[in-house]
């Protein structure tokens, strides 16, 4: 029996996943949480074989939570779940040690395959994700500017693209406004933009604003 922890801030998503997995004899949802901090606390208590972790959550988002899981419980498989297209986060998650990246539009067979593979110590990767990962690990010099942003810079870029202010981003990411401003300055430097409007336009051109 694979014991699963579901972490998603939307109750309807957690309920939907429970319903999907209810008739699966080898997978049991034994815990659920609505925040990264709560997921970490529950996992630390033991009895969890795989974590299914949403990316877009308030305060501590999925990427930050994944990093902490890898630091505190490096052997616990974590599958990332997201509404974002693969090209936005899949490679970043895999590089951070995720056991797979699933879009919420994935079918049930993919979900079950990913959970079982993670539980057995494997990594669930689609063909498209494998190709993207191979490209990102190459020494090509023609990477797009956003591909060289740090994970935190990338988060800030996407939040700026949604029209959020420095203060709003600082509150959402639990950072100081000065720290967010520093990330913003690095984003401008790396992407060749000068202000929030140009950052947002860059995100639109690269398809990074989609959810």
Those residues with Cβ within 8 angstroms of residue 50's Cβ, 6 or more apart along the chain or in another chain: 2, 3, 4, 5, 76, 77, 78, 79, 99, 115, 118, 119
| CATH, residue 124 | 3.40.50.2300
Q: Cα(90)–Cα(81) distance, rounded to whole angstroms?
A: 10
What string of DSSP letters covers 62-129? HHHHHHHHHHH-TTS-EEEEESS-HHHHHHHHHHTT-SEEEETT--HHHHHHHHHHHHTT--B--HHH
- Name which residue leads in pLDDT, 210 or 168: 168
Q: Give yes or no: residues 74 and 130 share one domain.
A: yes
pLDDT tens-digit readout, 44-65? 999 999 999 998 887 778 888 9
Q: Cα(105)–Cα(184) distance, rounded to whole angstroms?
A: 32
pLDDT of residue 61: 83
211 part of a folded domain? no
pLDDT tens-digit readout, 81-100? 988 777 778 888 888 899 99
- In percent, the amount of the chain with pLDDT more than 70 equals 94
pLDDT tens-digit readout, 169-179? 998 888 899 99
Query: Does the pLDDT at position 194 exceed 80?
Result: yes
| CATH, residue 192 | 1.10.10.10
Domain count, the chain: 2
Q: Give yes or no: residues 127 and 153 share one domain.
A: no
Q: Give yes or no: residues 159 and 74 share one domain.
A: no
Q: Cα(124)–Cα(136) distance, rounded to whole angstroms?
A: 18
Q: Give yes or no: residues 152 and 73 share one domain.
A: no
Which of 136, 161, 195 finishes a domain? 136
Q: Flag the least confident range among 33-42, 148-157, 202-211.
A: 202-211
- In percent, the amount of the chain with pLDDT more than 90 equals 53
Q: Give yes or no: residues 76 and 151 share one domain.
A: no
Those residues with Cβ within 8 angstroms of residue 99's Cβ, 6 or more apart along the chain or in another chain: 50, 77, 78, 79, 114, 117, 118, 122, 123, 124
Q: What is the mean pLDDT of the chain?
A: 88
Q: Give yes or no: residues 11 and 62 share one domain.
A: yes
What pTM, to 2 d.p., does this model score? 0.72
- Name which residue leads in pLDDT, 143 or 161: 161
Range of the domain at 187: 145-206
pLDDT of residue 142: 61
Q: Give yes or no: residues 111 and 158 share one domain.
A: no
The residue whose two tokens read 């063909």 is 127
Q: Give yes or no: residues 82 and 29 share one domain.
A: yes
Which of 112, 136, 160 finishes a domain? 136
Q: Give yes or no: residues 95 and 158 share one domain.
A: no
| The two structure tokens encoding residue 51 | 């974590």
Do residues 26 and 2 make contact, with C-beta atoms less than 8 angstroms apart?
A: yes
For the chain, the farthest-separated pair of C-alpha atoms sits apart, in whole angstroms, at 55
80 part of a folded domain? yes
Query: Does the pLDDT at position 128 exceed 90?
Result: no
Q: Give yes or no: residues 25 and 88 share one domain.
A: yes
Q: Cα(177)–Cα(6) distance, rounded to whole angstroms?
A: 32
Which of 136, 163, 180 finishes a domain? 136
| Backbone φ and ψ of 205, nearest 5° | -60, -35
Q: Is 3 helix (H, G, I), strand (E, B) or coil?
A: strand
């Amino acid at each position: 029996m694979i014991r699963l922890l579901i972490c998603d801030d939307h109750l309807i998503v957690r309920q939907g996943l429970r319903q999907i997995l209810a008739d699966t004899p080898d997978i049991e949802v034994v815990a659920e949480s609505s925040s990264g901090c709560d997921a970490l606390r529950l996992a630390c208590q033991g009895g969890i074989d795989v974590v299914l972790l949403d990316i877009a959550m308030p305060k501590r988002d999925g990427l930050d939570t994944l990093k902490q899981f890898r630091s505190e419980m490096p052997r616990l498989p974590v599958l990332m779940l997201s509404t974002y297209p693969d090209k936005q986060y899949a490679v970043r998650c895999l590089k951070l040690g995720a056991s797979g990246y699933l879009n919420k539009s994935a079918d049930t067979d993919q979900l079950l395959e990913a959970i079982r593979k993670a539980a057995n110590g494997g990594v669930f990767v689609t063909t498209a994700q494998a190709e993207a990962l191979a490209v990102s690990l190459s020494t090509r010099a023609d990477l797009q500017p956003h591909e060289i942003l740090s994970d935190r810079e990338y988060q800030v870029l996407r939040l700026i693209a949604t029209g959020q202010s420095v203060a709003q981003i600082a509150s959402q990411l639990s950072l100081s406004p000065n720290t967010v401003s520093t990330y913003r300055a690095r984003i401008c430097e790396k992407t060749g933009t000068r202000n929030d409007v140009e950052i947002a336009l860059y995100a639109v051109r690269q398809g990074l604003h989609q959810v």
